[in-house]
Amino acid sequence: MHRLLFIWIVLVFPFFAQAQDAVSRLEKEYNNASDKTTERLNLAPKYAKALFLHNDKDQSYRILKANIPVAIKQADGKYATILYAVQAMNYRLDNKEAESSKSLDLAKIYSLKTDNKEAKGYFEYAKGWVLVRNNKTTDAVAAYLKSIDYYENSPTTSTLYGRFATVVKELSTIYSNLNEYQLEEKYSKQFLVLASKQNDPNLIFDAYMRMGYVYEQKYVQSPSNIDWRNKAEQYYLQAVTTFNKSKDVMPNKSNLSYAAINLANLYTSFDKEKAMKYAQLANKVSLETGDAIHIASSFGILAELAIQDKNYDLAKSYFLKASMEIGKSPVRDHNIELSILESLSQISEEQGNYKEALVYYKSYVDKYKSVYDQEKLDITKRLESQFEKERQEQKYIKLQLESDKKAQQIRLINILRAQREQVYNNLKLVEENQRERLKFSELESEKRAQQLRLAKLETRQKNNDINNYKKLLAFKEKISTYYIIFIVVSIVLIILLLYAYKQRANSLKQRDELHALAMEKEKQNSKISTLTALLEGQEQERGRLARDLHDGLGGLLSGTKLQLSSLSPHQYGNIEEGISKSITQIDGAVEELRRVAHNLMPDLLMKYGLETAIKEFASRMSNSALDIHTELIGYTNSISEEKQLILYRIIQELVNNAIKHAETSEIIIQISEEENILNLTVEDNGKGFDPASLDVRKTAGFHNIESRVQFLKGTMNIRSELNIGTSIELQIPIH
């Protein structure tokens, strides 16, 4: 029974729930804006709707009639569009279909005169709303979609998201009624997003309830999907939280009982304690607000919970209270009344009170007959009235045609009457079935006697089972002995395996240690190779120094000695000339000695650093056939003197190699620093060579350079092309 009540509330409650305090607030705002035309025109539609939905129809019509002439005078037709649209919806609620259609046509006229997309969207919404009430669902959906299109392209205002939300809410309700659950979920989610953007607690509450209902429908269709049930619960609880946070601005306290009823209904199937908690909350709040439908719904859920506890007297009292509240409601739902009578009949039958069950069932049948007989009578009266009206308005030929149509309709009514009679006969059969159930109860007593005999047989069977169990225990004891033996053997095997594993681990450890020693030996050999190469370079430097001293300085000094020895004291002129030549030769020897000393340890390097020494070396080595350039970029002279000397020797070696072998006319020496790395590049425009054919180990000069680079923990990259030149790049860590 409570499921019928619940569905009725979901469909009806959100539209009719308004409160006097909301109307009073709007009235105050409307009166305060009496001297502000624009503000008054903005408030008028909302105020008029609130008055109408609070059953103050006359005042609502007066507000609209007072403001529509003012709106018509405005240059923009947006205010007139919205006011006429509200008037059309009010007329339709008042069952004044002709007036509603006229107001809607006027709203359309003014919507064509305005560029305001929000007003155009509101007209399409009102059009769709009226079409739904006229049972033209397809046309209504088309109008709602046009409204959405206008709203999506409209600039944001204080009312846009609220109006947009109302449209998607209507669409979600339509698709729910059509069982189009995918579209219902889509528009319900959009409703929640728009309500959040509008930041209106009332809209947010409705959106949470809408989403909860979507997932509850899915759960009802697939009860095994707990995720959908949890989502429904989550959204209903969020609705309750929203209400509690915004009690002061919520339009109606019945919102709380509305959410509590839905939660209690959801919990009924899986959490009785929570179901009872929210059913009692709904009952308490609805009794305070006097909402008859909510009171009846809460009593219905409490009755179902009492039935689960087999407390049939309490359940019956709840159903009777629900029936009394339904009688107080201004909107009667005969299906709910029938459901209550049926539930009361079933409870009486469960209690064994078949006489009372039959009374309730007869009331159910009588109510069913009266409802459907009244429906048939209403159809007949409506057809007769329509026939009389058309007979007065139409000519004889048209009347004859219509009479033929009516004859067909009457035949359809007869068919419908026959169907209703069949339903009534079926109800009679159900009544006879109830009598058969009384007879069946007698058979039940015989069945219980048979059950006693079966119980005795079961006792014997249990004794046999006990004997079998004792035998099973003895067998299990034997099995346990075998298990113990198996476990002991397994432990011995595990110990042996652990011992073997330990021996293997020790063997692997020794192998790793031997491998580490071999790697260390390789590193030592590499270091020895590097130091050997450095020593070879030093030996070559010493050899070159010896050659320079012997061939250069030695030759000059020997020549000077011979020159001085050949002088005769008797030849004065020859002595002066010889001394002059000797002095010239000694100057050359001094210059040669300075050159050798400079190559051995440049003074400029020690005093001023690598930059000055390289520039001096480039200047000294340059001549008319060879031009040596130096470029230092970001160099900070931050490397040690030892590294500077090694770099200087590397540059000397690279430049000498280029001069000796490359037949170059231009050499560029470039040094730069970046991120703790010193980059050295020596380029020439000589004849070049094929780097693939170069064996560094067999080329003494390159071998010495590579050894020095390794000593500095750097890298060397050689690039060369025949007849183009050679570029050698070094990268050296600064620290």
pLDDT tens profile 82-135: 999 999 999 998 889 999 999 999 999 999 999 999 999 999 999 999 999 888
Average pLDDT of the segment spanning 446-473: 78
Could you give the count of Cα atoms lying within 13 Å of 194 in the half-sphere of its Cβ? 25
- List strands edge to edge, sheet with 725-733: 627-633, 666-674, 677-684, 725-733, 715-721
155, 167, 205 from 151: Cα distances, Å: 8, 10, 22
Say which residue, 412 or 494, is predicted with more confidence.
Answer: 494
Q: Which residues of 544-557 are buried (b: 16+ CB within 10 A; e: fewer)?
A: eeeebeeebbeebb
* Per-residue pLDDT band at 246 (split at 50, 70, 90): confident
Backbone phi and psi for residue 733, each to the nearest 5 degrees, phi listed first = -65, 135
The tens digit of pLDDT for each residue in 207-226 reads 999 999 999 988 988 889 99
Q: What angle do CA 219, 220, 225 make, to 5 degrees?
A: 30
pLDDT over 70 at 144, yes or no:
yes
Amino acid 511: pLDDT: 81
pLDDT (0 to 100) of residue 15: 35
pLDDT at 369: 74
For the chain, give the mean pLDDT.
79
Is 718:728 a contact under the CB 8 Å cutoff? yes
The CA-CA-CA angle for residues 224, 225, 231, to 5°, reads: 140
Sequence letter at residue 721: E
Residues 25-67 pLDDT 10s: 878 888 887 667 888 888 889 888 888 877 788 888 998 999 9
Confidence of residue 341 (pLDDT cuts 50, 70, 90): confident
* pLDDT over 50 (residue 399): no
Q: What percent of the chain has pLDDT over 90?
A: 22
- For the CA atoms of 34, 37, 38, 41, what is the dihedral angle to 10 degrees? 70
What burial class does residue 356 get, using C-beta atoms within 10 Å of its C-beta: 0-12 exposed, 13-18 middle, 19+ buried? middle
Q: How confident is residue 417, by pLDDT bands cut at 50, 70 and 90?
A: low
pLDDT band at 237 (very low <50, low <70, confident <90, very high): very high
Side chain identity, residue 316: K
Compute the average pLDDT of residues 609-638.
Answer: 88
E strands, 396-548, are none
Label residue 667 by pLDDT band (50, 70, 90). Answer: very high
Q: What is the pLDDT of residue 122?
A: 94
Residue 336, pLDDT > 70, answer yes
Core vs surface per residue 461-478: b (16+ CB within 10 A) or e? eeeeeeeeeeeeeeeeee
- pLDDT tens, residue by residue, 564-575: 766 666 655 567
At residue 599, the 3 state secondary structure works out as helix
Selected residue with higher pLDDT from 500 and 557: 500
Q: What is the DSSP letter of 668?
A: E
Contact 164, 194 (CB under 8 A): yes
- Reported as a pLDDT band with limits 50, 70 and 90, residue 387 is very low
Rounded CA separation 544/700 (Å): 14
| pLDDT value of residue 11 | 35
CA 47, CA 29: separation in Å to the nearest integer?
9
Contact 122, 147 (CB under 8 A): yes
Structure tokens that stand for 528 in this block:
């020895």
The radius of gyration computed from the CA coordinates of the chain, to the nearest angstrom, equals 54
Tokens of 651: 């540059």
- How sure is the predictor about 469, in pLDDT bands with cuts at 50, 70 and 90? confident
* Cβ atoms 565, 581 nearer than 8 A: no
Condensed to tens digits (0 to 9), the pLDDT of residues 530-543 reads 555 555 555 555 55
- How many Å apart are CA 526 and CA 707, to the nearest integer? 10
| Report for 145-149, 451-455, 686-690: range of highest mean pLDDT | 145-149
Query: Using CA atoms, how far apart are residues 203 and 249, in angstroms rounded to an integer?
Result: 12
What band does 670 get if pLDDT is binned at 50, 70 and 90?
very high
User: Which of 210, 174, 180 is closest to 195 using CA atoms?
Assistant: 210
pLDDT grade for 143, boundaries at 50, 70 and 90: very high
pLDDT number for residue 574: 66
For 317-325, which contacts have Cβ atoms below 8 Å and span 24 or more sequence positions? 319/1, 319/343, 319/344, 319/347, 320/344, 321/295, 321/296, 322/1, 322/5, 322/295, 322/296, 322/297, 323/296, 325/292, 325/293, 325/295, 325/296, 325/299
Task: Please report the pLDDT score of residue 550 as a whole number.
Answer: 53
Q: Of 153 and 449, which is predicted with more confidence?
A: 153
Residue carrying structure tokens 């004291």: 569
